[in-house]
Structure 1
Amino acid sequence: MAAPHELTALEQWQALQRGEISPTELTEHYLGRIEAQDSGLGAFVSVTADAARKRARFVEQLMPRSMPLWGLPFADKDLQSRAGVPARFGSRLMQDYVPAESDDLVLALDAAGGVSLGKTSTPEFGLPSYTETLAGPPARNPWDRSRGAGGSSGGAAVAVAARLLPFAPGSDGGGSVRIPAAACGLVGLKPSRGRVPSSSGINALGGLSVAGPLARTVADAALLLDAMIAPRGGHPQHLYSLRPPGDDAPLLAAAVRGEGRFQLGVMTTSAWDDAYPIEIAPEALAALMVAVDGFASMGHGLEETALEPDDSYVPAFRTIWQAGAAGIPADTPEQEKLLEPLTRWLMNRGRELSARDLAQALAALSAYERSFIRQLSRFDAVLTPALALTPRPLGWYDAVDGERNFAQQVQYTPFTSMVNVSGLPAIVLPVTETGAGLPMGVQLIGRPGGEATLLALGAQLERRLQWQHRTPPEAGGPGLPCPR
């Protein structure tokens, strides 16, 4: 019989609803797996076992079973503050910081009935697209420990792929949900700007960063996203909440049904092509063709498309990335020495920028957003590689030279940041594996508010390719019997 962690998150929730397993039992199951498995993976920076047990009993005894995450374990990314739990932000600078209040996203997931087991690892202040930090061990890819997990939601991806969590929330300001999802063989969804009330992106610099789910299946991603959007059920009441007109149906329904025929663009160009030498690996192109063939066989229309050249994007995005680091609380030489070289380079560059530099960059990205949406508007969704290269070896990124490090990140993941700039939704799907057993995925970019279409397309491809049954080598370990 299958152990609970071998079930999908939706199946675990259904078992909880039927009383076949309790929130306390499920929490103990995952705490046992984390204790046995995580020491060499680096998924967690802290495990709050006592608090999790107390929380599970509270959910079990006092919260209605109808809550969308009732009794399901998850973990907070260590860029989110949970009252009383250290929030280190992947940095030695923040080792002693313990917030007194919880962030809105943390409160939303609690209100939905979830049980937090701790904090997942992230690179320093979430700035790089890989999770290797001087503040702790690297997040190792469960498919091959010599490879990185991507970032910045790298710990979350490792935990889900290794079956240490049913699913996990992440944040995505330039690809930080989709990159680790692709590297670790998961589904990762970046919602539209404004879709998740508690982490909408509307109040973020450049409107870039939003919260989104990492999961093993499309339905699991939709289950978590629905809870992020409206944790108590019904329409969310929040200043930063946007939804398509008349769209109050749970996204889980679209993910479970997986219905519809759509017109898809197929694209291998990116916003970085004219400034950096972007080479798409054969493995990435092979994954793209798997998805193309799959969608074509199901009757979807497919048409090749390409982006118009635009030399405004690269300098504008670089400016915003650097400006975002300017506010890091390192105000003395002693504090600055605690930062990693890349972070220090970004922070100092950001502090050299003028108000005029920032205003021009924001205006350029706003214009790019309109252009990007216009160019893709004739499609229901646009298919791209998820990553240009296979998951990178640990230590591959230059740890000293900021310019070279930036170029490496662009060359690895050129297809993600332009989606953040445009505010569009996008989903990564783990369609295949390389000959060496490394996962490779594709990305679908949707129209504004088009999450339901992406989930429907993802569900159709998932039914065809059955990626939910692939298990990485590091997903073994202790289990409990199947829910009674």
Structure 2
Amino acid sequence: MDALHERTAVELRDLLAAGELTPTEVTEHFLDRIERLNPAVGAFATVTPERARKRAAELQETCGAGSGGDTPPPSGSLWGLPTGDKDLWNRAGVPTGFGSRAFAGLPPAEESDEIVQVLDDAGIVSLGKTAAPELGFPAYTEPVGAAPARTPWDLGRGAGGSSGGAAAAVAAGMLPFAPGSDGGGSIRIPAAACGVVGLKPTRGLLPAGSGVDSLGGLVVNGPIARTVADTALLLEAMLPRRAGGGVAHPYTLRAPSYAAGAYLAAAQRAELPDEAGGPRAARLGVTTSSAWDGFYDIAVSPEARAALDAGVGALAGVGHEVEQTVLAEAPEYAPAFRTLWMGGASAVPIDDPETLGRLEPLTQWLIRSGREVPARELAEAVRTLTGFERSLVAQVSAYDAVVTPALALTPRPIGWYDAEDPERNFEQQCQYTPFTSMLNVAGLPAITVPTHWTAPTAEAPAGLPMGVQIVGRPGGELTLLALAAQIEAAIPRPRAFPL
């Protein structure tokens, strides 16, 4: 049998269900991989080996795996599969660092967050906390006082953020897949920087992390994985269903509800069904325009254009209709988004001046600026972005999907972002990731998939990963998974793991 980390999550699931592997065997393999690679990659903020071993043993005992007895079969769609909790989420009994030195030494929470409970119910084994930047605000994961999360393709470059640790862990084979959260690109950015797949669901799709309960509806949870099928498998598990069908959560009413297994089937079938159930061609828009154009100097690098050309070429090659499009100018977007982003930061529950002073300059600037925003200005920003949402949804809905570069630049070197000037830092983040935040504002689903590797260098022997972002209509996850799977089939990766 191949090394377990070379198996996909779907393959591991099937081997576990058949009794050919045990949760303990899988857990030990990935813990060993973490012990060897995490010091270089910085994917985990906290590793919890003893808790993981205990959890694996409990799962194994509950279903009698390997015993041959008359005990119940494995329970949970992800039974025995390892993953990690983002270090912005609470797991009962495990410290949460929030990517910040200001929270060092705080006692662990007594209760787990909803997303953690959902994944536990699906049968996962948590191996620890994946690294995140301070409070999840930056698009890079380089917290002061902790090791940065690095893309395994070049350890001198960052993994992106804010789910940087999750993406780095998946790319390095320390986890088969990992959940993340995305308020402005925080799943898609690190997935692209690490050469893996990241999906931001439609606002309202997932009960835990729906986006409906956050300011402006920005933050949703979603999956990161090495393959499109594994991404779909984790998405399914994050969408718990009633025994009789449907999803037991009012926030999911906005998004379509499909039968269990539909997402994985779409990824594995890699076809867009027509009304008769047969495959059909899609009408795709392609653009390099973004909502930040005209506010900051946004330039799409040659590497990003090469990735876009490769992805679009793969889709055209299987028969899809492709046409260039330009998004409507939206000069109102950037100032309104900045106001909303700062308004969200203002609610961080830190009032003690000493604690606030231990935060990084970018975080302090966001919080202090947000607390100076008048209520009327924030309300106007929300109204402005609601109008932008209507416009962008209409533009995207004219197509089956719209394809953009995933990132405008190659993965950024560690230390590239200005650590002292928060205004400049914010601008740099937008220049690196101009295509992501507008989709959080619009609530649209989007998936990033690698399509191109740059020329090899001494620092990156296999090249740096670059990819495309595919944007769907509201509830269009099935289409996105099928299109991403077609790209995946058409464009081989240079090798499975860079390390």
Give the shorter-chain TM-score range. over 0.9
Can you give the 5+ residue segments of structure 1 that lack an aligned partner in the other structure? 475-484
Quickly say closer, same or farther: Cα 1:85–1:232, change in 2 above 3 A.
farther
Amino acid across the alignment from 1:18: A
Alignment match of 1:160 (pick from 165, 170, 173): 170
Does residue 129 in structure 1 map to residue 139 in structure 2?
yes
Instruction: Give the match's secondary structure for 1:148.
Output: coil
The aligned residue for residue 479 of structure 1 is none
Amino acid across the alignment from 1:235: G
Indicate conservation of the 8 Å contact 2:291/2:334, yes or no.
Answer: yes
Does residue 461 in structure 1 map to residue 490 in structure 2?
no
Question: Aligned Cα RMSD in Å?
Answer: 1.3
Does residue 83 in structure 1 map to residue 108 in structure 2?
no
Does residue 253 in structure 1 map to residue 265 in structure 2?
yes
Alpha-carbon offset, residue 262 of structure 1: 0.9
Quickly say closer, same or farther: Cα 1:244–1:360, change in 2 above 3 A.
closer
Alpha-carbon offset, residue 336 of structure 1: 1.8
The aligned residue for residue 442 of structure 1 is 468
Q: What is the alpha-carbon distance in structure 1 between the residues aligned to residue 42 and residue 418 of structure 2?
A: 21
Alpha-carbon offset, residue 67 of structure 1: 1.7
Which has the larger displacement, 226-235 or 363-372?
A: 226-235
Q: What is the alpha-carbon distance in structure 2 between the residues aligned to residue 232 and residue 49 of structure 1?
A: 33
Q: What is the alpha-carbon distance in structure 1 between the residues aligned to residue 35 and residue 105 of structure 2?
A: 24
Alignment match of 1:325 (pick from 342, 345, 348): 345
Indicate conservation of the 8 Å contact 1:149/1:391, yes or no.
Answer: yes
Indicate conservation of the 8 Å contact 2:204/2:255, yes or no.
Answer: no
Task: Output the TM-score relative to the length of structure 2.
Answer: 0.93
Alpha-carbon offset, residue 307 of structure 1: 0.8
Alignment match of 1:452 (pick from 478, 485, 490): 478
User: How do 1:331-350 and structure 2 match up within 5 A?
Assistant: 331-350=351-370
Q: What is the alpha-carbon distance in structure 1 between the residues aligned to residue 131 and residue 376 of structure 2?
A: 35
Alpha-carbon offset, residue 249 of structure 1: 4.2
Instruction: Give the match's secondary structure for 1:144.
Output: coil
User: How do 1:252-291 and structure 2 match up within 5 A?
Assistant: 252-260=264-272, 261-291=281-311
The aligned residue for residue 51 of structure 1 is 51
Amino acid across the alignment from 1:7: R
Q: What is the alpha-carbon distance in structure 2 between the residues aligned to residue 229 and residue 74 of structure 1?
A: 17
Q: What is the alpha-carbon distance in structure 2 between the residues aligned to residue 295 and residue 65 of structure 1?
A: 38
Amino acid across the alignment from 1:396: W
Which has the larger displacement, 321-330 or 139-148?
A: 321-330
Amino acid across the alignment from 1:148: G
User: How do 1:106-121 and structure 2 match up within 5 A?
Assistant: 106-121=116-131
CA offsets per residue over residues 112-151 of structure 1, 9 Å max, x none? Answer: 0111110000000000000001131100110001000000
Q: What is the alpha-carbon distance in structure 1 between the residues aligned to residue 256 and residue 27 of structure 2?
A: 38
Alpha-carbon offset, residue 103 of structure 1: 0.6
Q: What is the alpha-carbon distance in structure 1 between the residues aligned to residue 435 and residue 257 of structure 2?
A: 31
Indicate conservation of the 8 Å contact 2:6/2:496, yes or no.
Answer: no
Amino acid across the alignment from 1:259: E
Amino acid across the alignment from 1:313: Y
Alpha-carbon offset, residue 246 of structure 1: 5.9
The aligned residue for residue 385 of structure 2 is 365
The aligned residue for residue 204 of structure 2 is 194
The aligned residue for residue 41 of structure 2 is 41
Indicate conservation of the 8 Å contact 1:171/1:210, yes or no.
Answer: yes
Please list every run of at least 4 consecutive aligned residues from structure 1 whose deviation after the TM superposition is greater than 6 angstroms: none
Indicate conservation of the 8 Å contact 1:108/1:231, yes or no.
Answer: no
CA offsets per residue over residues 415-459 of structure 1, 9 Å max, x none? Answer: 000010000000000111001300001000000000000001111
Q: What is the alpha-carbon distance in structure 2 between the residues aligned to residue 145 and residue 395 of structure 1?
A: 12
Indicate conservation of the 8 Å contact 2:15/2:21, yes or no.
Answer: yes
Alpha-carbon offset, residue 242 of structure 1: 3.2
Amino acid across the alignment from 1:226: E
CA offsets per residue over residues 332-388 of structure 1, 9 Å max, x none? Answer: 331122100111111110110111111011111111000101112210100000000
Q: What is the alpha-carbon distance in structure 1 between the residues aligned to residue 247 and residue 61 of structure 2?
A: 25
Quickly say closer, same or farther: Cα 1:276–1:17, change in 2 above 3 A.
same
Amino acid across the alignment from 1:55: R
Indicate conservation of the 8 Å contact 1:218/1:455, yes or no.
Answer: yes
The aligned residue for residue 18 of structure 2 is 18
Alignment match of 1:147 (pick from 157, 162, 165): 157
Instruction: Give the match's secondary structure for 2:223.
Output: strand
Task: Output the TM-score relative to the length of structure 1.
Answer: 0.96
Instruction: Give the match's secondary structure for 1:315.
Output: helix
Alignment match of 1:242 (pick from 253, 256, 272): 253
Alpha-carbon offset, residue 258 of structure 1: 0.7
Query: Percent same amino acid among aligned pairs?
Result: 59
Can you give the 5+ residue segments of structure 2 that lack an aligned partner in the other structure? 64-72, 273-280, 457-462
Instruction: Give the match's secondary structure for 1:383.
Output: strand
Q: What is the alpha-carbon distance in structure 1 between the residues aligned to residue 472 and residue 31 of structure 2?
A: 37
The aligned residue for residue 471 of structure 1 is 496
Does residue 69 in structure 1 map to residue 106 in structure 2?
no
Amino acid across the alignment from 2:473: R
Alpha-carbon offset, residue 244 of structure 1: 4.7
Alignment match of 2:314 (pick from 286, 291, 294): 294
Indicate conservation of the 8 Å contact 1:256/1:459, yes or no.
Answer: yes
Alignment match of 2:435 (pick from 387, 403, 415): 415
The aligned residue for residue 66 of structure 2 is none
Indicate conservation of the 8 Å contact 1:111/1:231, yes or no.
Answer: no
Indicate conservation of the 8 Å contact 1:67/1:231, yes or no.
Answer: no
Q: Which has the higher contact order (CA 8 A, sep 6+)?
A: 1
Amino acid across the alignment from 2:43: A
Q: What is the alpha-carbon distance in structure 2 between the residues aligned to residue 193 and residue 431 of structure 1?
A: 26
Alpha-carbon offset, residue 473 of structure 1: 2.9
Q: What is the alpha-carbon distance in structure 2 between the residues aligned to residue 171 and residue 457 of structure 1?
A: 22
Q: What is the alpha-carbon distance in structure 1 between the residues aligned to residue 255 and residue 191 of structure 2?
A: 26
Indicate conservation of the 8 Å contact 1:67/1:232, yes or no.
Answer: no
Indicate conservation of the 8 Å contact 1:230/1:236, yes or no.
Answer: yes
